Chain A
Amino acid sequence: MSSRSPALLLAPLLLGACLEEGPPPAGVHLFHSQKLAAPGFIDVAGETMVRFQERTAPATGSRGGVSDLWLTSFDGSRQRKIVANWSDYWGGEQGPFNVGDRYFMVDERLTKSEGGMARVATLVRLGPTLEEEFRLDGIWVWQRFTVPLSTLFAEPLPGQTCPGFPQLDHDCPQLLYERPALPGQKYPTLYLWNGEQDLIVGEDSGSFQSQIMGNGTIYFIRGESRMLTRLVRPANLVESLRANVSRFSVSGDEHYAALAISEEGKSKTVVRDLRTGAEMDLARPNPSAWGGFGDGVFAYAQNATETEPAELHVLDLDTGEDRFETLPSPLANLAGVLDRPNSDERLLLDSLGQGVFTGKNDLVGRRTLVGPLYMPSFTKDGSYLMYITPAAATLFDTTPKGPLMCQDAELEASAVMVSPPGLLVSADRQSYFFTEGDAGPVLVFWARLGRASSDLYFADYAPGVPPTNLRLIAKAIFSVSVSTHTLFGIINVSQQDGVGDLVLRDIDRGTDILYSHAVADASELAGPDLATSYAAYIVRGRVDSARSGLWLTTLAPPTGPDGGRD
């Protein structure tokens, strides 16, 4: 009988029994809280532990969401908070704990700066055992990178390790970061932290635009003059290269830089020889897109206009010759290129989703696909192009979405709708892929009816034939990992509560192992078999209950499963 019902006099008296809860979640209840998220596994000093975060405050207008980050052993006997007051403002809502991540912004706050209040926090780095290593206070933007040891020491001593990281002897962690401009300062200050000490690099122009080369050299735009600046290491020599730069891209050999220049009220793009200071103008002074440097050339593109087709330009860096070819109509620009397997063709795509087949070595249009084509990709044999064609936006769903289509690459037949008519496949992220099954490729995609949660489908693919044998694998999926035979994850998700059932589904047999209802998030640690595979998951009811919190179970069948709902 429930313990929450002191007033239920009539129930036992007249009706026999009170309401009872359902079967308990499988496994061990490791941590009780109603506000947990992002469970996962992490190796700490050779021991696999469970990580998770506990939300302590939601995001507000002036602050990001705040969480504490925790670790627990599998038996729950050792638990520790490794980061307190982590702010998701810099790191997104989910998953600060990616392997290798050691940096966290904590204690977010507002501070006075030139021009108003600035949002700053303290950057914390954790060590290999997730103990705190150091803090940088009052910063508002940062970029971490690693450089070879040789870029920090011209002549490294035997046994030389990275500054500040005696356990590292090759790739040395570095940080480029900024503190907001103090009152009276016009621009924020750019710092370089080399593992042991901070170096003031100079005033940033405010854009925090930098390019870090493999040798540790850092390019950035400095101060009022918007000076393209180079910090050469290990001498930490600062060199001014070119003023009035609003955007730049340096070639890998550091011989050239493409620069967007704003001078005297005019803007243009030039390619500057960093060795000589000579600059080359482009045939199109304000190209629509930069293609980058490669093999002695700089490529860029110009969008189509009403009267002229789009152009692809190549500037020869040695001769200064600017050659171009026009893109086949109706491409407005070049937003992507897909090589068609097993053919000499490629598919050029523009930002409007239109596609034109051309040869791999020319820009002569062969066939045109009137789009928009969302998320296009070729089948492995190159016979078909898969894509999502957009459906009309509705009042409550303006995200790109539509049916999944299959078009034979020769355009000899009309496109075939692969997803069930009426269902919508999201086009703002990858919603389909091919995987290898026992009898050939299997198309995996997820689609939804109206505003419902997405359902997972399989279809078989055989060369030369559009996908067949469409079958529904799971309804209302949240996050699942899937093979052609099994599915593990959260399904039957309730949109109202954002929770579902955590199951391991044998797709071939159509049977489920149900671990728990009301699962908000889960992570799997795969082992050789079910008994040595684990799932860490979060149970979250509508209200806090004895079940709320972090649970850990092996994937071996729990005692007395009560079956899924599907």
Chain B
Amino acid sequence: MQSVLLLAVLAAFPIDADAPLDGGSIDVEAAVAPIDGGVTAARDAGVAVVEAKVTAAVEAGPVPARALVKFGGKVLARGTRRPLVGALVRVGVGDGTTAETETKAGGVFSVEVLPGKHNLRVQCPGHAPTSRDVTVMVDTSDYTVRLEPRTRGERYETIVTAEPRPEPMVPLRREELVRTAGSLGDPIRVIESLPGVAQSTWPLPFYAIRGANPGNTGFFIDGVRAPALFHFALGPSVLHPFFIEDLQFYPGGYPVTYGRYVSGIVAAQTATPTADRLHVSADVRLFDAGGIVAAPWDKGKGTVAVAGRYSYTGFLLSAFSNAYALDYWDYQIRADHTLGPGKLTLFVFGSGDDLRQKDPDRTDWGVPGQPVDIDPGRAKLTFHRAQLRWDGRLARGRLTAAVVGGIDDSTVSITSLFSVPVGSRMLTLAPRLAERWRLARWLDLDVGADAELQRARPSSLMKVLGGVLASLYTTDLFRDRTAYSAGAYVALTLRAGDRLVVGPGLRYDGYFEQGVERYAPSPRLQVRYRVGAQDWLKLAAGQFSQMPSLPVGVPGFESFGLADYGLQRSRQASLGIESALEERLGIDLNLDASLFYQRLHLADLRNSLIPDPQMPDLLEPREGESYGVEFLLRRPMRHNLYGWLAYTLSRSLRVVDGIIVPSDWDQRHILNLVVGYRWPRNYSTSVRFHYNSGRPYPLYNERANDVEGYIRLPGFPQLDLRADKRFLFDTFVLDAYLELVNSTLSREVFDVKRQASGAITENYYRLVLPSVGVHVEW
């Protein structure tokens, strides 16, 4: 693709002092390798680039006339067995000269040398060089060299990136994702440490982003909209951690390629399975165990990866709780194969949660003589998604065509959660088409369309009983229904020199449900303007729309009430600055600070204390707004000491009964400090300190049988600790880690009441989540 650069930045590429390369000089350093023929002056992009130049040193002296033999093999990374392409292989020929070559695809190298004993030196960016003597007497083609990856020292990254996009976004790389303390090694939970994210009650994975409801944030996996991205309770994400390559977090102002959410977007990309060989990895944690198998097929034209995870928290919970047992599982399958000028990808994933009451309340649900035959005391949430996608070059652009099918199935019959049993089964079909053209060096064009068809078959007590109850109380959420939503978009990315990037876009969505149709234009504008050598101003504004939604995502309970509640809408604007502070401070730090404002029209929970989905007044449309400032100071992960400081000061407001009041999610202050350090011998540690101020909560006075007023729940400080150790073997890697989340046993207060005695009682969790894990990768 024209716009993609490979910037191999090898600026130091030091020669290990323990293994000096004698007899020659290396005038290193990097290579600029074009992808898809597009080469852009990397220096202009502010990245140091040096040209590669390897000079063979020639020793003086006569050369014996003997027959040469071939000496070849592979250069692999130690542990992972990853073939290292571009590694420099130098070997003495035996005649006073030195043969040298670079490894090709598959890490393969081959040189010709005289029979005898020679010195072999191999070096590759990001790995410790090696020097050894080898004896070559006959043709050899299977000699294997394993280079140990560097894990500390000031490292240089290989960054594959597009040219700067204008959307405000926080990109996170894999190592940050899995090694940040507090996330339990779960990549997607890292977002709770980012600016603009309020977690309603730790450890529940309900994230209110920039003051909207948690259900207003969309989760996408390889472009597939997931109905939920987290298992409930302890809340690991529904993807195996090592299946995720990277993550983009858009707290607002997301690009037009995404739609139908009024708040932020979390987009995860899965890793393309490597085509070189079979890979197997397995991990065992305190809560669950999982694994991935990836292998090439059809002579490397295709790859397939299968991952799965199963928790045994039911067993663990049994040790602590007489009331509940909990299990969850998830799986992922990804298969790729070249097809024409592109690649066809099948991606299937699914998730299940099962919470069981050990001694459930047997109830006739208030209907004498008519017990409802529903398995009591159980909450089961499952969903499955399958996407078939083709990516490739077409019509002088890059085309993505995909279709997604899905099944959601959820039932809840725990009276302590909901007063009567509910369930829903939903089928989803979602086609998608997107094309990107580079029309000029300064202009990109994105055009696309996507749609989603959902058929829901909910079950509820009303349906069972029918009659007056059904006619009076059945809300649209519990009616058999079909919902359509579709959108099309066009967006431009204009680059005026190296100072200005402007991204105007327009998305237009239509929604069809409950016998009505609603249309929503969503104009968006993103601008980045370089005001200094390393300082960018960024501005984003846009309008967004969404079907009415529950406050948190529940598979099967989507796309309802379009006539009853109308569309959810938001208008967002943010203005910020992005600065690299290295030149000013002498420390490699990046500052990102933004002001944001959102005007909201949402389907809000009317009663967050008893969020029973069957209540006729479960939701009500409310106006709202949120505004604040987000601050992110980040030290890149290429340093031994890395991490970030994130702080959000914000307000989230709603018009409730005509009066402007703080919303249920309003956390004024959110602070996250993440510090990681890589120690020698493949040790690393990470610490996370989190603090959020309390959200408003109704103080119920049991004596007066009334709400006495609203108070703020206490703030929640949390200290998380994590230590990792990597053991490298020739053919496999073993990672072990120990993590303590909320190591100081801080109290998370989730409910307060004034008892009849007058005393205020606080209901709280005081949890520490220890985790010990082992990950083996072969």
Contact = CB atoms under 8 A, between A and B. Distances in A.
Contact of A543 (B468, B614, B624, B662): B662
B80 to A, nearest CB: 47
B597 A11 contact: yes
Given A8-B627, A402-B368, A470-B468, A22 B707 contact: no
B469 A4 contact: no
Contacts of A424: 366
Contacts of B599: 11, 15, 17-19
A23 B220 CA distance: 40
A197 interface: no
B615 A60 contact: no
B654 to A, nearest CB: 8
Given A34-B709, A422-B366, A517-B657, 15 more contacts: A10-B596, A10-B627, A18-B625, A22-B657, A60-B759, A391-B368, A394-B361, A394-B363, A394-B415, A417-B368, A420-B467, A422-B461, A422-B469, A492-B617, A542-B696
A115 to B, nearest CB: 20
Given A492-B617, A497-B657, A15 B606 contact: no
B54 to A, nearest CB: 54
Tell me if A's interface is mostly helix, strand, loop or mixed.
Answer: loop
B762 interface: no
Interface stretch (B99-107, B173-181, B311-319, B571-579): B571-579
Interface of A: 2, 4-5, 7-11, 13-15, 17-25, 34-35, 58-63, 65, 93, 389, 391-392, 394-396, 401-403, 417, 420-424, 449-452, 470, 472, 475-476, 492, 494-499, 501, 516-518, 520, 541-543, 545, 547, 565
Interface string B275-306: 00000000000000000000000000000000
A363 B662 CA distance: 64
12 contacts: A11-B599, A14-B573, A15-B541, A19-B624, A19-B660, A23-B658, A395-B361, A403-B367, A420-B468, A452-B610, A475-B617, A542-B662
B467 A19 contact: no
Interface string B604-629: 00111110101111001001110110
B590 interface: no
- 4 A-B pairs with the lowest CB-CB distances in the bound complex, closest first: A450-B419, A22-B658, A60-B758, A518-B657
A520 B701 CA distance: 14
B659 A22 contact: yes
A496 B657 contact: no
B703 A65 contact: yes
Contacts of B465: 421-422
Given A420-B468, A472-B472, A21 B420 contact: no
Given A19-B624, A61-B759, A450-B419, A421 B710 contact: no
B606 A496 contact: yes
A527 to B, nearest CB: 27
Tell me if B's interface is mostly helix, strand, loop or mixed.
Answer: mixed
Contacts of A20: 623, 655
Interface in B404-442: 415-416, 418-420
A4 B661 CA distance: 11
B25 interface: no
Contact of A496 (B370, B612, B698): B698
A63 B758 contact: yes
Contacts of B660: 2, 4, 19, 21, 545
A497 B709 CA distance: 8
A24 B655 CA distance: 12
B362 interface: yes
Contact of B420 (A8, A18, A450): A450
A21 B658 contact: yes
B749 interface: no
A24 B628 CA distance: 28
Given A10-B574, A65-B703, A543-B710, A499 B657 contact: yes
A452 B573 contact: no
A449 B473 contact: yes
B39 interface: no
Contact of B620 (A60, A518, A565): A565
Nearest to A472: B472
Given A14-B573, A59-B758, A496 B609 contact: yes
Question: Chain B interface residue count: which class?
Answer: 35 or more
A200 B176 CA distance: 82
Contacts of B51: none
B752 to A, nearest CB: 13
A547 B658 contact: yes
Contacts, number: 215
Contacts of A498: 698, 706-707
A547 B659 contact: yes
Contact of A10 (B365, B595, B620): B595
Centre residue among B362, B416, B472, B623 by max chain A CB count within 10 A: B472
A495 B710 contact: no
B303 to A, nearest CB: 46
Interface string B573-609: 1110000000000000000000111010000001111
B286 to A, nearest CB: 30
Interface string B647-666: 00000010111111110000
Centre residue among A11, A22, A59, A545 by max chain B CB count within 10 A: A59
A403 B368 contact: yes
A517 B620 CA distance: 14
A20 B361 CA distance: 46
B757 interface: yes
B607 A495 contact: yes
A495 B700 CA distance: 10
A445 B518 CA distance: 39
B364 interface: yes
B307 to A, nearest CB: 38
Contacts of B653: 19
Nearest to B620: A565
A4 B655 CA distance: 13
B70 interface: no
B348 to A, nearest CB: 38
B84 interface: no
A543 B606 CA distance: 16
A35 B104 CA distance: 78
A423 B571 CA distance: 41
B462 interface: yes
A565 B619 CA distance: 12
B751 interface: no
Nearest to B465: A421
A29 B541 CA distance: 40
Contacts of B469: 420-423, 449
Interface string B624-642: 1101100000000000000
Contacts of B615: 449-450, 452
A58 B607 contact: no
A18 B368 CA distance: 53
A145 B679 CA distance: 85
A395 B416 contact: yes
B531 to A, nearest CB: 18
B152 interface: no
B660 to A, nearest CB: 6
Nearest to B571: A15
A433 to B, nearest CB: 20
A452 B659 contact: no
Centre residue among B473, B657, B696 by max chain A CB count within 10 A: B657
Contact of A476 (B617, B696, B704): B617
Nearest to B759: A61
Nearest to A546: B659
Interface in B352-375: 361-368, 370
B708 interface: yes
Contacts of B625: 8, 11, 18-19
B646 to A, nearest CB: 19
B225 interface: no
Contacts of B457: none
B118 interface: no
A325 to B, nearest CB: 33
B377 to A, nearest CB: 10
